[in-house]
Amino acid sequence: MTTVDPAVLDQLIGALPDGAVLTDPDMTAGYRQDWAADPNAGTPIAVVRATCTEDVQAVMRWAAEHRIAVVPRGAGSGLSGGSSAVDGGIVLSTERMREITVDPVTRVAVTQPGLLNAEVKQAAAEHGLWYPPDPSSYEICSIGGNAATNAGGLCCVKYGVTTDYVLGMQVVLADGTAVRLGGPLLKDVAGLSLTKLFVGSEGTLGIITELTLRLIPAQPPASTVVASFPSVESAADAVLAITRDMRPAMLEFMDHASINAVEDAVRMGLDRNARALLLAQSDAPGVAGAQEIATIVAACEKHGATEVFATDDAAEGEAFTAARRSVFPAVQAMGSLLLEDVGVPMQQLPTLITGVEAIAEDCDVLICTVAHAGDGNTHPLIVFDPTDPDMTDRARVAFSRVMDLAVALGGTISGEHGVGRLKRDWLPGQLGADVMELNRRVKNALDPLGILNPGAVLP
Amino acid sequence: MTTVDPAVLDQLIGALPDGAVLTDPDMTAGYRQDWAADPNAGTPIAVVRATCTEDVQAVMRWAAEHRIAVVPRGAGSGLSGGSSAVDGGIVLSTERMREITVDPVTRVAVTQPGLLNAEVKQAAAEHGLWYPPDPSSYEICSIGGNAATNAGGLCCVKYGVTTDYVLGMQVVLADGTAVRLGGPLLKDVAGLSLTKLFVGSEGTLGIITELTLRLIPAQPPASTVVASFPSVESAADAVLAITRDMRPAMLEFMDHASINAVEDAVRMGLDRNARALLLAQSDAPGVAGAQEIATIVAACEKHGATEVFATDDAAEGEAFTAARRSVFPAVQAMGSLLLEDVGVPMQQLPTLITGVEAIAEDCDVLICTVAHAGDGNTHPLIVFDPTDPDMTDRARVAFSRVMDLAVALGGTISGEHGVGRLKRDWLPGQLGADVMELNRRVKNALDPLGILNPGAVLP
């Protein structure tokens, strides 16, 4: 921990409401890491719990004056270390910024960043509307963090990702200036597309203090198919057959280890002997939905599914979806995790999934793979015992090799979690020197002092 | 026209394939203006018709070395003067870059920028797929221009705008470096969202030489409602009633003057006495579609429609849609035009439309208004006689006042056409000084010499 002149810290405390600044190490310790549990996370000199845009401006003005690093933090559920504290810096938490208004006429929500994704969905639902993006962590992740990482989820295969729903924002820049970008307009091309630039910038360009989100009519009731497969290849082939013919509202994949981890935890009656399981939904209305379900069932059967179960009972479908969402906590109970988030073009999905199996065998580590299969985004979860240095090393090698494989297949090191600090070293391998330089130019133009989330995304 | 050292121009000619560089003024004259017919368009020293990314790189390397302005140009159908030539500069046309491949498995098209929007749609349709964005000019506008302006269209009210379909691109930067951004992945958050930044940048940040576009399954057959109204307010109120309850696949507005201009041109049997007409579509399948059509009909009747006609005949629906698309050429036959493209939050739509009527009366000019009413994007078309200086002045005043009104209502000076050169002077009024500065910082970071489409968007 770097120390700071107490007079400098007093300036910050004086510029903010009472209780906004935490300096007691017992209080700030919980803000050092996000869910990625970055072992290299630093120790902040203070945590600021902002309540409004003006608080964030005060922090950034002070930080710019004293050249102090600011790490923005939503709910702390990030999986790539995007909110790891840095030594001598501030953690700026938006957890207390929790106001939302929903306008059913323009069909937008205007929300502060601290609301949880589930709370935004709930506020929309009160007006018969829907905010689609649904990270598995939707009950514990913040909407501000969703925008900062351009978060995805399960329904994105049909409904798109966070950026597709962000129409505007208020953002505080590195020097403390607050600007409004976009607004409640579906079409607005006046000036550069800066709203979209800030989405997914992981707090490296500015701090989002308000979001204007597009809402759509409530999702129709969905029908669900669960299918068990004798191999990962057969399941992956079924995925391609489905997406070639239709656009499912959900198309999730779980491998053998994931199935059993979930079944240990929640007892859904999943087939413990299956090597892979697909969970698919159609939310097309009426006959169209029945046709889509028939297409899904036929694709699964054609590619060797050993068991195919279809239901139009919404509660039953939600129970399976909840089981799928519980993979991460269920696997986490088995050991420490290195979380992958690699994606590939659809036709490479079988190669990626079998390649991950080969890497697991080669490195002698357990890798449980779940995937948003319908959009090619997979989450191989590498399980290891941190007290076993050799296994820890092998897990790290596997982590690196999975990303290298995805990039070699024309894919990405991160589909929806963000690069943060844990995947930063692999970014140049994906983007190449010229695109890295382009990233740096934009970063330097907007944060010339390098005080916004330093060390995240870019070296 | 600025002259250029012939030896410098010879370097350019030597760096490109035979016939790529046009210098004959008879040949280059047609590249001075786009459809906006910018009276201040300059005279280029040459026009380059590139055939590949390498050609574009050669142009930019040469332009950077000699600090010569480059104006990118697609099909020249732009409506804001984004492709007006500048004196002493080059016009870089992508009209010869016309390759496309469609991959039905990943459901993406990889296309060069010179293809027309209609040709991209056609290539997708050959695989049973659909590229939704549909500017009224889709038969004559290029896909590269669509990406450069983040073009909209009629179906965007339900299906989104161009940026929602751009997954990746190859772009040539100001110094001639070619980079690839994104790719055929629905989810990819590795690094800053640069793909989205280039969409809508109107050629001021780089020159797009290839696009990777998301395709979706073919649109289901649509049913159509045509409704006549006794006032623009009643039609605008019906629009709000419709969008409050459902998401139409199309919701277009035509005022009295537009109806009659179209009827003069194509004889659809539209009600010439109506003060406003709505054209709405639902493409929801089966019973859901019938319910949506019933909702539209009920909303129109409730808000005083004098005539409501519904049809599920696709050819009939397409004929009405074609009539709507023909407003611009039909009105153009009446005189010179100043084309507006203002948008407002939905609940301000009645105020905007009646405000435009008041401005027309006040300035004593004819303004025909058509609108993508369902997303609040309107096109007041200001008709004037350029040989009448007083009328021309009054038209210009009306042009300015319409934009001021939209901004005052929380809207935008451009929903889908772009700022180009014709609306540049109004941009600061919408964005404010801080956001203008943010635009400039990004522009300067990517084009430090200011050679990419100088004078467009930013002063």
CATH code of residue B281: 3.40.462.40
Which contiguous run of DSSP H or E holds residue B166? strand B166-172
The answer to whether A377 faces chain B, any CB pair under 8 Å, is yes
The answer to whether A407 faces chain B, any CB pair under 8 Å, is no
- Interfacial B residues in 42-101 facing A (CB < 8 Å): none
**pTM exceeding 0.95:** yes
Instruction: Please report the pLDDT score of residue A285 as a whole number.
Output: 87
Output the average pLDDT for chain A.
Answer: 96
Instruction: Please report the pLDDT score of residue B69 as a whole number.
Output: 98
The answer to whether the Cβ–Cβ distance between A197 and B193 falls below 8 Å is: yes
Q: Among B411, B427, B404, B337, which Cα is nearest to B376's?
A: B411
Q: Assess whether pLDDT exceeds 60 at residue B1.
A: no
Q: What is the spatial distance between Cα A27 and Cα B441, in angstroms, rounded to a whole number?
A: 39
CATH code of residue B213: 3.30.465.10
The answer to whether the Cβ–Cβ distance between A438 and B194 falls below 8 Å is: yes
Instruction: Please report the pLDDT score of residue B249 as a whole number.
Output: 97
Instruction: Please report the pLDDT score of residue B2 as a whole number.
Output: 59
Residue ending a domain, among B409, B430, B454, is B409
B197 and B247 co-located in one domain: no
B228 and B166 co-located in one domain: no
Q: Which amino acid is at B375?
A: D
B-chain residues within 8 Å CB-CB of A163? 193, 196
The answer to whether A122 faces chain B, any CB pair under 8 Å, is no
CATH code of residue A34: 3.30.43.10
Instruction: Please report the pLDDT score of residue B169 as a whole number.
Output: 98
Residue B141 resides in a domain: yes
Q: Assess whether pLDDT exceeds 70 at residue B343.
A: yes
Mean pLDDT confidence for A326-339: 90
Residue A415 resides in a domain: no
| Least CB–CB distance from B445: residue in A189, A419, A445 | A445
| Least CB–CB distance from B345: residue in A104, A185, A438 | A185
The percent of residues above 90 in pLDDT, for chain B, comes to: 93
Instruction: Please report the pLDDT score of residue A91 as a whole number.
Output: 98
Confidence at B4, pLDDT banded by 50, 70, 90: confident
Residue A438 resides in a domain: no
The answer to whether the Cβ–Cβ distance between B189 and A438 falls below 8 Å is: no
| Least CB–CB distance from B186: residue in A156, A173, A285 | A156
Residue matched to tokens 């656009």: A247
The answer to whether B132 faces chain A, any CB pair under 8 Å, is no
Mean pLDDT confidence for B199-225: 96
The answer to whether the Cβ–Cβ distance between B181 and A435 falls below 8 Å is: yes
The percent of residues above 70 in pLDDT, for chain B, comes to: 100
Give the SS3 label for residue B25.
helix
Q: Among B355, B360, B353, B361, which Cα is nearest to B382's?
A: B360
Structure tokens belonging to residue B169: 């691109």
| Paired strand residues for B103 | B108
CA dihedral A54, B405, B335, B91 (to 10 degrees): -10
Q: Of A264-268, A319-323, A421-425, B336-340, which gets the smallest average pLDDT?
A: A264-268
Report the relative pairing of strands B223-229 and B307-311 from DSSP bridges: antiparallel
A176 and A210 co-located in one domain: yes
Instruction: Please report the pLDDT score of residue B94 as a whole number.
Output: 98
A297 and A393 co-located in one domain: yes
Among chain B residues, the shortest Cα distance to A149 is held by B189
List, edge to edge, every strand of the sheet that includes A21-22: A21-22, A46-49, A90-93, A70-73
B286 and B398 co-located in one domain: yes
The answer to whether B187 faces chain A, any CB pair under 8 Å, is yes
Residue B300 resides in a domain: yes
Output the average pLDDT for chain B.
Answer: 96
Residue ending a domain, among A93, A116, A131, is A93
Q: Assess whether pLDDT exceeds 90 at residue A294.
A: yes
Confidence at B441, pLDDT banded by 50, 70, 90: very high
The answer to whether B333 faces chain A, any CB pair under 8 Å, is no
B-chain residues within 8 Å CB-CB of A103? 347
Among chain B residues, the shortest Cα distance to A439 is held by B192
B235 and B378 co-located in one domain: yes
CA distance B143 to chain A (A): 16
Label each residue of chain A as H, E or C. Answer: CCCCCHHHHHHHHHHCCCCCEECCHHHHHHHCCCCCCCCCCCCCCEEEECCCHHHHHHHHHHHHHHCCCEEEECCCCCCCCCCCCCCCCEEEECCCCCCEEEECCCCEEEECCCCEHHHHHHHHHCCCEECCCCCCCCCCCEHHHHHHHCCCCCCHHHHCCHHHHEEEEEEECCCCCEEEEECCCCCCCCCCCHHHHHCCCCCCCCEEEEEEEECEECCCCCEEEEEEECCHHHHHHHHHHHHHHCCCCEEEEEEHHHHHHHHHHHCCCCCCCCCEEEEEEECCCHHHHHHHHHHHHHHHHHCCCCEEEEECCHHHHHHHHHHHHCHHHHHHCCCEEEECCCECCHHHHHHHHHHHHHHHHHHCCEEEEEEEHHHCEEEEEEEECCCCHHHHHHHHHHHHHHHHHHHHCCCECCCCCCCCCCCHHHHHHHHHHHHHHHHHHHHHHHCCCCCECCCCCCC
B-chain residues within 8 Å CB-CB of A457? 191-192
Instruction: Please report the pLDDT score of residue A420 as a whole number.
Output: 98
Instruction: Please report the pLDDT score of residue A431 as a whole number.
Output: 98
B402 and B273 co-located in one domain: yes
Confidence at A343, pLDDT banded by 50, 70, 90: very high
Q: Of A69-73, A287-291, A413-417, which gets the smallest average pLDDT?
A: A287-291
Per the structure, the count of domains in chain B is 3
The answer to whether the Cβ–Cβ distance between A288 and B285 falls below 8 Å is: yes
A204 and A142 co-located in one domain: yes
Mean pLDDT confidence for A202-220: 96
Residue ending a domain, among B165, B195, B217, is B217
Among chain B residues, the shortest Cα distance to A342 is held by B188
The answer to whether B161 faces chain A, any CB pair under 8 Å, is yes
Structure tokens belonging to residue A27: 């209080």
A-chain residues within 8 Å CB-CB of B161? 186-187
Q: Model confidence over A155-194: pLDDT tens digits?
A: 999 999 999 999 999 999 999 999 999 999 989 999 999 9
Q: Assess whether pLDDT exceeds 70 at residue A1.
A: no
Residue B449 resides in a domain: no
Instruction: Please report the pLDDT score of residue B274 as a whole number.
Output: 96
A-chain residues within 8 Å CB-CB of B175? none
Q: What's the domain range around A121? A: 100-217
B373 and B315 co-located in one domain: yes
Mean pLDDT confidence for A7-15: 97
Q: Model confidence over A413-434: pLDDT tens digits?
A: 999 999 999 999 999 999 999 9
| Least CB–CB distance from B187: residue in A194, A199, A375 | A375
Q: Model confidence over B234-260: pLDDT tens digits?
A: 999 999 999 988 999 999 999 999 999
Instruction: Please report the pLDDT score of residue A268 as a whole number.
Output: 85
A240 and A348 co-located in one domain: yes
| B308-335 core/surface letters (b: 16 or more CB in 10 A; e: else) | bbbbeeeeebeebbebbbbbbebbeebb
Q: Kindly write down the DSSP assignment for every residue of B275-307, as one continuous string.
A: SEEEEEEE---HHHHHHHHHHHHHHHHHTT-SE
List, edge to edge, every strand of the sheet that includes B21-22: B21-22, B46-49, B90-93, B70-73
Residue B456 resides in a domain: no
Confidence at A2, pLDDT banded by 50, 70, 90: low
Structure tokens belonging to residue A12: 């910050």
A89 and A66 co-located in one domain: yes
Mean pLDDT confidence for B49-74: 98
The answer to whether B331 faces chain A, any CB pair under 8 Å, is no
Residue A181 resides in a domain: yes
| Least CB–CB distance from B441: residue in A199, A287, A446 | A446
Residue A75 resides in a domain: yes
The percent of residues above 70 in pLDDT, for chain A, comes to: 100
B163 and B230 co-located in one domain: no
List, edge to edge, every strand of the sheet that includes A207-214: A100-103, A108-111, A207-214, A166-172, A178-182
Instruction: Please report the pLDDT score of residue A333 as a whole number.
Output: 87
